[in-house]
Amino acid sequence: MSLSLVQSRALIGLGAAAVAVEVHLANGLPSFTLVGLADVEVKEARERVRSAIQNSGLEFPGNKRITVNLAPADLPKDSGRFDLPIALGILAASGQIDAARLAGHEFAGELSLSGELRPVRGALAMSLALHAGQVVTRLVLPPDSAEEAALVPDAQVYRARHLLDVVQHFLPQGADAPPPEPVSGWSRVTTMPQSSAMQYPDLADVKGQLGAKRALEIAAAGGHSLLLMGPPGSGKSMLAQRFAGLLPAMTTDEALQTAAVASLCGRFALGRWAQRPTCSPHHTASAVALVGGGSPPRPGEISLAHHGVLFLDEMPEFPRAALEALREPLESGTITISRAARRAEFPARFQLIGAMNPCPCGYLGSAQKSCRCTPDQVARYQGKLSGPLIDRIDLHVEVPALLPADLMQASPGESTALIRERCTLARERAFARQGKSNQALQGREIDTHLLLDDAAIKFLNIAAARLGWSARSTHRALKVARTIADLAGARNTQVTHVAEAMQYRRSLAKAGGA
């Protein structure tokens, strides 16, 4: 038979669209034509496939006119993931393997010139797409990629190390002369991720800073964003780097979503399964690096921090466009990247931890060094963070510098494990009450689940009017107050909870007016 069909998948955002690899062999001048909106990496498959087939002891039909079509024609295809299906299509069209037996399988893998299979990015996204679409098929992948895809429950994933491993399982019935046997590399993969103990830096390493630690606990319990402001060396970065350890353990669905995004960028490792990511891009990062982009669209740092932490150190030094691009994801938890020909949506449910100095020299309000900045310089520096962005950050906390004597005499604080237990218990209370974290409450849900006391309502109305808060600021302070009540085990949100929540939205304004 001179025509064959092999199934594969192309990555579009976190989705994996089905691609039919059609191969036709015809008489005529020898040629190898590849069509179907293929990127440069896919077009280069012609040379890899030719060499892999020949070096595996198989016959490449070099005297035929070979046409490979990747359908649908308007779907962009990139990377070397189509090497294996193209090679199998050529072998099936030339009668070296049984084309009918390829049905019910999907293939992806990059070929080396010797026929070895190399991992491809996005294997977990492929497997998740099959699971979400309830597509029952066998997925054949290279080593590492197969272990990744097998993390999805009930996935039928097979690992092949060499092109010959795949060929041997699709030989025509009654073939007289099978190809040479390679080392056995075909096997069904059932990955059982180990729920190893979470390995995060311990918050007990940070001495003092009880106020900042309390704010970290509230942020972890309710899913809130946080801005740390203080002079250089006060411990802002140490606090932020230990924040992920305070978050509750990831569910299987959260771990799969986070791993799928990391897989798209080739950053996934089984050793970090169910570990909440902490992404800390340098302040020279562009808006595209933060939110994602490119053609085809790739996820940015906010998506790689999905269900984890995005730490922006020296926050005012980031480009204004990059910071403003964070506004919508902070509200919606997703980012949609639109291009002229295609759009892709990536998850971005991250917790933002920002760190900044109070002024350009860093010592505004410090008891150790005097500030050299003029009021205009201070206002200009803090003005790099726009009002709408600051409005979306729930907690603003001042981190003062400790005197050397106090630092040496301070005893270690509570460990990460103890604080995480309280955060987990508070979040469980919130989920039992409303099915989501407090930060995710919207609209009527705030009125329904806040359970404000009458005295707390009166206190909040007076304080918000005097401080000139927007509706968003008021709602965010209420959600923080609900988290504080959950940490205290209180059913209703009381005046004390609202008063504490209000203290966490005054640090920046107070420093700016100093």
**CATH number reported for the structural domain that contains residue 285 in this entry:** 3.40.50.300
Residues 326 and 441 in one domain: yes
> Could you identify the residue written with the tokens 């494990």?
417
The whole-angstrom separation of Cα 100 and Cα 102 is 5
The Cα angle at residue 197 between residues 194 and 202, in degrees rounded to 5:
155
Residues 225, 310: one domain? yes
Residue 196 within any structural domain of the chain: no
In a domain, 198, yes or no: no
| Structural domain containing residue 110 | 3-189
Q: What are phi and psi of 45, to 5 degrees?
A: -60, -25
State whether 151 and 246 are in the same domain: no
* CA 87/CA 32 separation, integer angstroms: 12
145 with 265, same domain: the answer is no
Cα separation, 38 vs 153, in Å, equals: 32
Helices (H), ranges, 401-443: 404-409, 416-434
pLDDT on residue 95 = 92
**Strand-pair partners of 372:** none
Same domain, 433 and 311: yes
Q: Identify whether residues 229 and 282 lie together within a single domain.
A: yes
Name which of 450, 451, 463 is nearest 500 in CA terms.
Answer: 463
> E strands within 13-154?
15-26, 31-35, 65-71, 105-107, 110-111, 117-118, 138-141
Q: Where does a domain end: 189, 217, 244?
A: 189
User: Which amino acid is it at 203?
Assistant: L
* Structure tokens, 60: 């490449």
Q: What is the pLDDT of residue 237?
A: 92
User: Which value, in Å, is the radius of gyration of the alpha carbons in the chain?
Assistant: 28
- 493 touches 429 (CB < 8 A): no
* 219 in the same domain as 117: no
Does 195 reside within a domain? Answer: no
Q: What is the pLDDT of residues 175-207, one digit of tens each?
A: 554 554 544 688 998 876 665 556 788 898 888
In a domain, 358, yes or no: yes
In sequence order, the 6+-apart residues with CB closer than 8 A to the CB of 495 are 453, 455, 456, 459
Q: Are residues 216 and 172 in the same domain?
A: no
> How many angstroms separate the CA atoms of 151 and 128, rounded?
9
- The one-letter code for the residue type at 477 is A
Count the domains in the chain: 2
Q: How far does CA 384 lie from the centroid of its chain?
A: 27
Answer yes or no: is 238 within a domain: yes
pLDDT of 409 reads 76
d(CA 77, CA 11): 8
In this predicted structure, what is the pLDDT of residue 78? 86
In a shared domain, residues 129 and 219 = no
Sequential pLDDT tens for the chain (514 residues): 589 999 999 988 888 899 999 999 999 899 999 999 888 889 999 999 999 999 999 999 989 999 999 999 988 888 899 999 999 999 999 999 999 999 999 999 999 999 999 999 999 989 988 888 888 899 999 999 999 999 998 889 999 999 999 999 999 876 554 554 544 688 998 876 665 556 788 898 888 888 999 999 999 999 999 999 999 988 899 999 999 999 999 988 899 999 999 998 888 888 888 889 999 999 999 999 999 988 778 899 999 999 999 999 999 999 999 999 999 999 889 999 887 767 888 999 999 999 999 999 988 888 778 888 999 999 999 999 998 899 899 999 999 888 777 777 777 788 999 999 999 999 999 999 999 999 999 888 988 999 898 899 899 888 888 888 888 888 999 999 999 999 999 999 999 999 999 999 865 544 444 3
**CATH number (domain holding residue 24):** 3.30.230.10
Place of tokens 């420093």: 511
- What's the CA gap between 498 and 452, in Å, rounded? 9
Is there a single domain that holds both residue 425 and residue 486? Answer: yes
Dump pLDDT digits (tens) for 475-514. Answer: 999 999 999 999 999 999 999 999 999 999 865 544 444 3
Question: Is 320 contained in some domain?
Answer: yes
> Does 450 fall in a domain?
yes
Does residue 185 sit within a domain? yes
**The domain boundary residue, chosen from 163, 189, 215:** 189
Shared domain check, 394 and 292: yes
Sign of CA dihedral 319, 321, 322, 328: positive
DSSP 177: S
> Cβ–Cβ contacts within 10 Å for residue 29, how many?
7
Domain end (from 189, 221, 248): 189
Q: Are residues 358 and 421 in the same domain?
A: yes
Residues 6+ apart with CB under 8 A from 390: 227, 396, 508
